[in-house]
Amino acid sequence: MAASPRSDKPFLSDIKTIRKRARAHMERGAVTDSYTLDRATVLKLLNEALATEIVCVLRYKAHYYLAAGINAKSVAAEFLEHAAEEQAHADTIAERITQLDGTPNFSPEGLSGRSHSEFVVPDDLASMIEENLVAERIAIDSYREIINYVGDRDTTTKRLLEGILAVEEEHAEDMKTLMENFGQKGEPAKPGRSGRKK
């Protein structure tokens, strides 16, 4: 059987060209000339995602410390676990921003305006669960849109955000389950609606 003819075209650019490009603009770090996305837009989107994660950390922490009621201990533990995971997301996003030669925006000034989710702290535990579910659903849609924008032109950012998206989907499912099961231990699932169908 005859061997298939080899293509004369190399898989990669000429190695001398790659070496030359690597030495140009070294101050950009990981950002090379082959990065074809609008970096300013990507950095803006990532800083909005960073702000969203920070607001989520603050909201979950506030809910953790203010949780009260029959089911408060187990629900508060879930809030605290989610706060830690949202903080890890914020750290990962901030690191990616610096890899793209940007500056992570941790400034509290304008934080709520940059964030896609809101900082809402209701008085009762059931409403806290509901607000966290709403926030997770906002984060899920936001991450999907950013992933679609980035596509395969920045596979590192895409993979990073896909990993975060998977955790946000788990968080939403956790909050949905808490909301559905909240009234089963004697506390109404919604204040004033104890007769609500389960």
Q: Note the pLDDT tens digit of each residue in 53-85.
A: 999 999 999 999 999 888 789 999 999 999 999
Q: How far is it, in rounded angstroms, from Cα 100 to Cα 27?
A: 11
Q: Is 136 annotated as a binding residue?
A: yes
CB 12 within 8 A of CB 52: no
pLDDT of residue 23: 52
In a domain, residue 45? The reply is: yes
- Residues (pLDDT < 70) of the chain are 1-35, 183-198
The CATH number assigned to the domain holding 169 equals: 1.20.1260.10
93 class by beta-carbon count within 10 Å (0-12 exposed, 13-18 middle, 19+ buried) = buried
133: Cβ–Cβ under 8 A, 6 or more apart, which residues?
A: 172, 175, 176, 179
- Rg (Cα) of the chain, in Å, rounded? 23
pLDDT of residue 179: 87
Token pair 């934080």 in the structure block, residue: 111
pLDDT of residue 149: 92
Domains held by the chain: number: 1
pLDDT of residue 113: 95
In a domain, residue 145? The reply is: yes
pLDDT of residue 198: 31
State phi, psi for 75 to the nearest 5 degrees: -70, -40
Q: Is 53 annotated as a binding residue?
A: yes
Q: Is 171 annotated as a binding residue?
A: yes
In a domain, residue 151? The reply is: yes
3 class by beta-carbon count within 10 Å (0-12 exposed, 13-18 middle, 19+ buried) = exposed
pLDDT of residue 195: 33
8: Cβ–Cβ under 8 A, 6 or more apart, which residues?
A: none
In a domain, residue 97? The reply is: yes
In a domain, residue 29? The reply is: no
* Domain with 99 in it: 36-185
